[in-house]
């Protein structure tokens, strides 16, 4: 039986870029179905994808393109959680996160999928040997590198690109996670999910990718997104350290009582 792959692509005002993204996915991973999670884009992104899906079906294209229409701009994290739930209900084996703006290259996806047999979560990484960014200003690169170093130190997770949004999950791993508890709305959602995977004992591997600054449309990055990520990673790190200290204290008291 072949592995069923679903690529989840969140959109908000991506009318210019989504036809290009869907075309490249069809070229490089023609067996993968696509779910576009559209947050009621004012520019008609959702309706455009519906038309593309209809045209592909009429032409006998082998994959399925679907649209999950949401009622408003509800955030990246909730879009992915909704997409994950949709995928699990339909019993897909692998679920991929991917941006619509061209920053995640479809030609890199086969290398991520090739690692799924020996991993539960495959991260497309900019910051491992072989990874790179294209057309990024230095301040964006320093921000991303710094954020990932801070995340690694605060949370103790052994990955170099926890903030990246190009990744492939085994469905079995997603089923183990309590997705309803994921409250992260912005880009710290990626950190949250990577950390949950590590704590669940998942096999996490990183595959080098080339990240390209978006080709069309406007960036969704904002100061609020950066602040949310910084605050939450700090809170999680402090809570994790507190748990470790409390655990060590309890073990010490137990040794004192037993005389060991």
Query: How far apart (Å, rounded) are the C-alpha atoms in residues 115 and 168?
Result: 9
Please count the structural domains in the chain.
1
The CATH number given to whatever domain includes residue 241 is 3.90.550.10
The strand pairing partners of 5, in sequence order, are: 94
For 81, the domain range is 5-258
pLDDT tens-digit map of 87-112: 999 999 999 999 999 999 999 999 99
Work out the average pLDDT over 190-195.
Answer: 93
**pTM assigned to the model:** 0.88
Q: Is the pLDDT of residue 224 over 90?
A: no
pLDDT tens-digit map of 63-91: 999 999 999 998 899 999 999 999 999 99
pLDDT tens-digit map of 23-57: 999 999 999 999 999 999 999 999 999 999 999 99
Q: What is the pLDDT of residue 250?
A: 57
Q: What is the pLDDT of residue 230?
A: 76
């Amino acid at each position: 039986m072949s592995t069923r792959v679903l690529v989840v692509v969140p959109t908000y005002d991506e009318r210019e870029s989504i036809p290009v993204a869907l075309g490249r996915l069809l070229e490089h991973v023609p067996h993968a179905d696509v779910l576009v999670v559209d947050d009621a884009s004012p520019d008609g992104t959702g309706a455009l994808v519906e038309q593309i899906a209809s045209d592909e079906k009429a032409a006998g294209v082998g994959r399925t393109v679907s649209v999950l229409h949401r009622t408003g701009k509800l955030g990246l994290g909730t879009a992915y959680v909704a997409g994950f739930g949709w995928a699990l209900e339909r019993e897909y084996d692998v679920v991929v996160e991917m941006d619509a703006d061209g920053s995640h290259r479809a030609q890199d996806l086969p290398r991520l999928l090739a690692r799924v047999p020996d991993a539960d979560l495959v991260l497309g990484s900019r910051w491992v040997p072989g990874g790179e960014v294209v057309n990024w200003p230095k301040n964006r690169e320093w921000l991303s590198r710094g954020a990932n170093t801070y995340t690694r130190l605060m949370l103790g997770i052994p990955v170099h690109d926890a903030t990246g949004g190009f990744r492939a999950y085994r469905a079995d791993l997603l089923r183990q996670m309590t997705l309803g508890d994921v409250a992260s709305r912005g880009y710290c959602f990626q950190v949250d999910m990577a950390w949950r995977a590590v704590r669940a004992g998942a096999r996490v591997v990183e595959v080098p990718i080339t990240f390209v600054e978006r080709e069309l449309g406007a960036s969704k990055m904002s100061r609020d997104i950066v602040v949310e990520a910084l605050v939450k990673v700090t809170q999680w790190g402090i809570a994790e350290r507190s748990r470790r200290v409390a655990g060590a204290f309890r073990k010490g008291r137990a040794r004192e009582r037993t005389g060991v």
